[in-house]
Amino acid sequence: MNERYTEMAGRLIVALDYPDADQASALLQQLEGIPCYMKVGMQLYYAAGPAFVRDLKTRGYKVFLDLKMHDIPNTVKGGAESITRLGVDMFNVHAAGGKDMMEAALQGVDKALQSDPSLSKPLVIAVTQLTSTGQEMLNREIGIPGTVKDAVIRYAKLTQAAGLDGVVASAQESGDIAAACGSEFVTVTPGIRPAGSDQGDQKRVLTPGNAIRNGSSYIVVGRPITMAEKPREAAEQIIKEMMGA
Ligand SMILES: O=c1ccn([C@@H]2O[C@H](COP(=O)(O)O)[C@@H](O)[C@H]2O)c(=O)[nH]1
């Protein structure tokens, strides 16, 4: 395993979108030894809960807990405190919850860290516009005027002003986010589709190689790996494409 492989595998976040821990564990077995990040989202967390997250940490994985909190500041603060106690490496809120709510998330993190100094500070990021949102939907259905890019950049700047580490956005916007917020500001980008793969419900997509070229800090990949006939080969192919970017 060379250095570039390890770096790129560490920037691949595999979305464990499964209905139970057994199915998620079966994928882990297939991907064993690949030093990628694992993402636990609503489907798996609501079924398998904190125990599965702790299990992933015990197995040595970096974990992104993708629960996209969006609530009043006091509730988000409490949620962030509990999530930080789980020892995850990254979690998120919705930027649409506003600056006070995002700042409250950071207060929750601090509270947990103060009560248990053995914990590490997780990256706290905010969702800008979901990658399943296209231009038409944004303007006509959701009622937000302007381009998707404008909305994403506005949320990214608000997120940075609140003191968070970065955002979730499409890889199509990574370069513009870096230009607006600096290259240290983390971009976590789902909607990744290797050439020729099914787009599904994703509207703003990019290939793994183009996402890395556009400056994404991390790429999030679910179905192109989990639904592949040979998930390990699919993951290795994605890492290879990232390495070549
Ligand atoms: O804007 C967003 C935010 C989160 N996601 C999550 O990423 C994965 C993508 O899965 P695919 O199967 O590769 O489409 C999934 O867990 C989403 O909940 C996102 O897609 N877009």
What residues does ligand 1 touch, defined as CB less than 6 Å away? Answer: 15, 17, 41, 127, 130-131, 168, 190-191, 200, 202, 220-224
The string of pLDDT tens digits covering residues 151-187 is: 999 999 999 999 999 999 999 999 999 999 999 999 9
Main-chain phi, psi angles of 125, to 5 degrees: -130, 165
> Would the annotation count 202 as a binding residue?
yes
DSSP state of 121: P
Protein residue with least CA distance to atom 10, ligand 1: 222
- Tell how far the Cα of 181 is from the centroid of ligand 1, in angstroms: 23
Q: What is the pLDDT of residue 126?
A: 99
What is the C-alpha to C-alpha distance for residues 241 and 210, in angstroms, rounded to an integer?
A: 9
The string of pLDDT tens digits covering residues 29-63 is: 999 999 999 999 999 999 999 999 999 999 999 99
Q: Which of 98, 77, 76, 110 is nearest to 162 (CA)?
A: 98
- Tell how far the Cα of 161 is from the centroid of ligand 1, in angstroms: 25
Q: What is the pLDDT of residue 76?
A: 99
What is the C-alpha to C-alpha distance for residues 77 and 99, in angstroms, rounded to an integer?
A: 13
Tokens found for residue 151: 């909305």
pTM of the model: 0.98
What is the C-alpha to C-alpha distance for residues 45 and 31, in angstroms, rounded to an integer?
A: 20
Q: What is the mean pLDDT of residues 4-17?
A: 98
